[in-house]
Structure 1
Amino acid sequence: MELSVVLLLAVLTGLLLLLARGHPKAHGHLPPGPRPLAFLGNILQMDRRGLLKSFLRLREKYGDVFTVYLGPRPVVMLCGIEAIREALVDQAEAFSGRGRVSTVERIFQGHGVIFANGERWKLLRRFSLATMKNFGMGKRSIEERIQEECQCVVEELRKTQGESPENGYAGEEDLTAPSLLQVFELFYNFLKYFPGTHKQIYKNVQEIIAFIEDAVEKHRETLDPSTPRDFIDAYLIRMDKEKSDPNSEFHHRNLICTVLSLFFAGTETTSSTLRYGFQLMLKYPHVTERVHKEIDQVIGPHRLPSLDDRAKMPYTDAVIYEIQRFSDLFPIGAPHMVTKDTHFRGYFMPKVRPAGLPHFARVGILGSLNLCT
């Protein structure tokens, strides 16, 4: 019994010493930041209302470039447009690596255009951009498709008969909010074996993947290589061209993960912005009234809006910009990693080694003013 008590005291003493010492020093000369605790990192110093508030507070103390330990992992935060431009534009190659997002790592496993790295990322990104441009992205030719989607949205709104289509304020739940997912991201290697929200996310995404798999199969059955109809057709054609190359990145797994990535990127950003817009129009009826008046004057009730109308509707255009500024959908950008040992603003960031040091993330320009106040 006495031996057990001694062992317990020894373990507790060792743990306290580790906590007092903090996290072992990372390789390289990383930017300054709050002193971390062993295993926990800086989590006890984070704001309970979300990581974003904590990062903004640390920015005031340490400047636009600082280091925080999210659990045992060091993360270099880049804040503000100048620091982000220096990293992602001036040193684009060095900062082009994609960091790990534990919640979806099991799903993508480094495949698809968003979560890939190296040559795979370059090939898929180049192909995706070229293909989407061929189908009208950023061109006038896509206007008709947007108008078709707008008609569908209007029809769905009419079905609500004036009732709010969703309860609660748009954007109440996100990754910047305090949640179990944050804890899961910090301690993934331990918590992945336990039940939680991440299990439900995996299940939900599997349903979307099944939908995409079915769509790919239907596209394959009706494929005409001379007249590709969409992104999936174009990818299948490229797959057939490179099917004899065992090292080709144009295979089925990358197709599914790329379509899944584009699906999330295209639908979530658009739908969230619309929800913010609807909620803000309800909150500020005097703004809604002026927008409605301008729409009646320029477009009228009998035709769809077009890009040509934009120059004639300065107030509506300004309101749309303000909605996008206010909503700030991704204030904390996707995590990146340096692809080689990198010097940045007098600091040294080593390439990620098997131990996982270090990631770097970015914080964009943040809006804090309310709409039209």
Structure 2
Amino acid sequence: MSEGGSGKGNCSVQDGTGIASSNGERWKQLRRFTLSTLKNFGMGKKSVEQRNLEEAQFLVTAIRNKKDTSLSPNFLLRCASSNIICSLVFGDRFDYEDKRFLTLTEMISENMRVLSGPWIQLYDNFPTILDFLPGPHKKLFRNSADLQNFMNQMIQSHKESLQKDVPRDFIDCFLIKMEEEQHKHDSEFILMNLLWTIMDLFFAGTATTSTTLQWAIQILAKYPQVQEKIHSEIDEVVGSCRRPTVEDRANMPYTDAVIHEVQRYIDLAPMSLPHMVTRDVEFRGYLIPKGTCVVPLLSSVLKGTSQWETPEEFNPNHFLDENGHFKKSEIFMAFSAGKRICPGESLARMELFLFLTTLLQSFVFKPVIDHKEIDISPAISGLAVLPNDYEFYFISR
């Protein structure tokens, strides 16, 4: 397979636009532009690190304001994760009490649940029949329409206030590129590609990181001995007088190993995105003809019995050598693989480390129920693998 594009199921409403469902030349141009623009606005640099640190503090404050009552952190984690991508795409963050923002993040959460459930598989196979029946797929399309309306409003607002000499964010840069190429009849920088690219970024930047953090909190609450070791590493390397930084990760091998093992164990996107073969390929004696839609099964690597000592168990030692140093693994593919690997990988890695270490510097995660009763098997498994919902006490350290 080469850099071909993703296929799209019958339930797709994108029609091959945006960065996630496009292919060929369109995908190449949109991905190249997206990566360079996000890097220009700080992805992987100190400026975005500072945004992460500030947002992590907003998250800590929001939890402290709950006055030591038990809570499910899912909503607050979605807000914090979403605000990082919002700052890059929209040029600003939202307050956690902003009703419009809360509605948007809840719609994304609902869509993730629907896309990961069995109903969407039925719809993908029998779309004509299910179009006439009620079901969760109707909610999916309503939410998508509402999200599109919001994104269109943001685009229009940016158009009205655009200053080409001082672009503020991703939308501004795309609008400027659209104007530069407005006379090219085959330009990929058109309104629909802008709409669906920011939809893709917003969905991915909100849903994946926040869901991984939900899993991490549950797993650490279930295994308090693992949590205690991270607390000890934070105390030794960071202390209590400053906040963790990305540079600390090199001196925190156990914490780094736990984060990687969380990602491996939860297998968040087991099938990745569909791909399309761009030329005839012979694979293990089989001919895969050009144009065939193929789905890479990341689970076969992340849970492979020949690659990991205990593939079905949570085990941070998978990423530690005999001396307790962090051990990289070429078969760690939590962000997919190849040329269509997640474009926001560096941003997601930064968020996971800074958010989780800042929370653990401030709190002990204690479940309301006995920690042994926490079930860390998937509640839903489809497009994404989603955890069960629990409440926790966030006890100040």
Q: What TM-score, normalized by structure 1, do the two folds share?
A: 0.67
Q: Which residue of 1 aligns with 2:10?
A: 102
CA distance in 2, matches of 1:177, 1:110: 21
Q: Which residue in 2 is equivalent to 1:79?
A: none
Q: Distance in 2 between matches of 1:123 and 1:177?
A: 29
Partner in structure 1 of residue 2 of structure 2 = 92
Counterpart among 241, 246, 255 of residue 302 in structure 1: 241
Distance 2:238 2:142 in 1: 44
3-state secondary structure, aligned to 1:348: strand
Using the aligned pairs only, state the percent identity: 43
> Closer, same or farther in 2 for the Cα pair 1:366/1:306, shift >3 Å?
same
Structure 1 CA distance, aligned partners of 2:19 and 2:26? 8
User: Is residue 2:342 matched to residue 1:342?
Assistant: no
Corresponding residue for residue 363 of structure 1? 297
TM-fit CA distance, 1:175: 7.8
Report if aligned partners of 1:175, 1:182 keep a CA contact under 8 Å in 2. no
Q: Which residue of 1 aligns with 2:130?
A: 191
Distance 2:26 2:44 in 1: 25
| 1:227, distance to aligned residue in structure 2 (A) | 1.6
Cα deviation 1:328-357 (Å, max 9, x = unaligned):
1111121112234433333222334xxxxx
**Distance in 2 of aligned mates of 1:176 and 1:242:** 35
Give the paired residue count.
271
> Of 165, 171, 178, which residue of structure 2 is paired with 1:232?
171
Q: Any idea what the Cα deviations from partners look like across 1:45-97, whole Å, max 9, x if unmatched?
A: xxxxxxxxxxxxxxxxxxxxxxxxxxxxxxxxxxxxxxxxxxxxxx314xx13
Assess, with a 3 A threshold, how the Cα gap between structure 1 residues 176 and 220 changes in structure 2: closer, same or farther: closer
Structure 2 residue runs of 5 or longer lacking an equivalent are 79-108, 304-310, 317-397
* Correspondence 1:251-330 to 2 at 5 A: 251-330=190-269
- Comparing 134-143 with 323-332, which one deviates more in the overlay? 134-143
Query: Is the contact made by 2:114 and 2:136 (CA closer than 8 Å) also made in structure 1?
Result: no
Deviation at 1:240, TM superposition (A): 1.0
Q: Distance in 2 between matches of 1:164 and 1:285?
A: 18
Q: Map of 1:2-13 to 2, 5 A cutoff?
A: none
Secondary structure at 1:113 match in 2: coil
Give every structure 1 segment of 4 or more consecutive aligned residues whose post-TM-superposition deviation is greater than 6 Å. Answer: none
Match of 1:158 in 2: 64
Alignment of 1:129 with 2:35, yes or no, is: yes
Alignment CA distance shift 1:265-1:294 (3 Å):
same
3-state SS of 1:97 partner = coil
Q: Which amino acid is the alignment partner of residue 371 of structure 1? A: F
* C-alpha spacing 1:206/1:102, structure 2 compared with 1 (3 Å): same
What's the secondary structure of 2:282's corresponding residue? strand
Q: Max radius of gyration: which structure?
A: 1
**Structure 2: distance between partners of 1:297 and 1:330:** 34
1:90-123 deviation per Cα after TM superposition (whole angstroms, max 9, x unaligned): x314xx13111333x12x1111011112221111
Letter of the 1:159 partner, please give it.
N
Conserved? CA contact 2:2–2:278, under 8 Å: no
CA distances 1:225-254 after superposition (whole Å, capped 9, x unpaired) = 112111111101101111122321111111
Residues 302/214 of structure 1: CA separation in 2 closer, same or farther (3 Å cut)? farther
**Mapped contact 1:157–1:165 kept (Cα < 8 A):** no
Q: Check conservation: 2:282, 2:288, Cα contact below 8 A.
A: yes
Partner of 1:118: 24
Farther-moved stretch of structure 1 (129-138 vs 254-263): 129-138
Q: CA deviation at 1:184?
A: 1.4
**1-structure distance, mates of 2:239, 2:73:** 28
Listed one character per residue, the Cα deviations across residues 162-187 of structure 1 (whole Å, up to 9, x for unaligned) are 413258xx99x868966211211222
Which whole-Å CA distance do the structure 2 matches of 1:125 and 1:261 have between them? 12
* Contact 1:338/1:351 (<8 A) preserved: yes
2-structure distance, mates of 1:346, 1:210: 48
Structure 2 matches for 1:213-224, cutoff 5 A? 213-224=152-163
Distance 1:260 1:178, change over 3 A: closer
Task: Give the TM-score, by structure 2 length.
Answer: 0.63
Report if aligned partners of 1:341, 1:351 keep a CA contact under 8 Å in 2: yes
Report the Cα distance in structure 2 between the residues aligned to 1:193 and 1:338, rounded to whole angstroms: 34
Q: Take 1:143 and 1:175, find their aligned partners in 2: how far apart are those partners?
A: 32
RMSD value over aligned CA atoms? 2.5
